[in-house]
Amino acid sequence: MESGVEKITKEITNKAEEEAEQLVSEAKKRAENIKQNAREKASQKKQEIIEERREEIEQEKRSVMADAKLKSKRAKLDVKEELINEIIENVKTTISEYSDQEKLELLKNLIKESFIEINTDKLTINSNNQDKELIQENKQQIETEISEKLDKQVEIQIGETIETVGGVTAKPPEGSITIDNTIEERIRRKRGEIRQIINRVCF
């Protein structure tokens, strides 16, 4: 039969063991909670990193695509300008190879347009050497034909020699306005139209 002391000792021991088991159980729960929180935080951090990287990849892709589009656009513009310049050079070459009669007809039209634009009856005409000789040789014919077409008497004076593929510049003898009807200037005015045609036909 247990003595009173043994009974008390046993009760104390049992209670201590129960408390110890409870503490261990609580410690395990806390440890499990800490591990679970750590796993959740790690998973969340991993997801955040994945999302950040995904956004970086998307940004890189957008940047590459934008750069490719820009390069493509520049390449098209370069091709267009090359085509325009080639057309212009072909036009200049064609005009430079005109016969004297073809050049004369061109000069008549350009001089007539100059009279219309300035609205005068007398102009000094500047041109390259070859065209100057042609105008000088056919001066009376040019004046007569333009006078008939404009229904007024006009007079042209032979001016300076200028560097040009063809065409003329014109100004009244006493005036300050100069009309540029050289081939280069005429082509420059048409450059926009040439570009539009190329856009329609080639692009």
> What average pLDDT score do residues 152-177 get?
93
pLDDT exceeds 70 at position 203: no
- pTM for this prediction: 0.64
Q: Which two tokens stand for residue 187?
A: 């082509």
Sorted by where each begins, the domain ranges of the chain are 1-69, 98-202
pLDDT of amino acid 20? 67
Torsion region of 170: left, alpha or beta (phi above 0 gives left; psi -120 to 50 gives alpha) = beta
Q: Which tokens in the block code for residue 118?
A: 């300035």
The average pLDDT across 24-39 equals 77
Per the structure block, which two tokens stand in for 157?
């004076």
- Of the ranges 18-27, 45-54, 112-121, 187-196, the best mean pLDDT one: 112-121
Q: Reply yes or no on whether the pLDDT at 1 is more than 60.
A: no
Looking at residue 191, what is its pLDDT? 85
Average pLDDT for the chain: 86
| 159 neighbors 128 (Cβ within 8 angstroms) | no
Decide: 168 and 111 in contact? Cβ < 8 Å.
yes
Instruction: Read off the pLDDT of residues 92-110 as tens digits, 9 standing for 90 and up.
Output: 899 888 999 999 999 999 9
Using only C-alpha atoms, what is the Rg of the chain?
47
Cβ atoms within 10 Å of 142's Cβ, excluding its own:
21
Chosen CATH of 98-202 out of 3.60.15.10, 3.40.30.10, 3.30.2320.30, 3.40.50.300: 3.30.2320.30
d(CA 6, CA 90): 124
> What is the predicted pLDDT for the residue at 4?
62
Residue found by looking up tokens 């955040």 in the block? 48
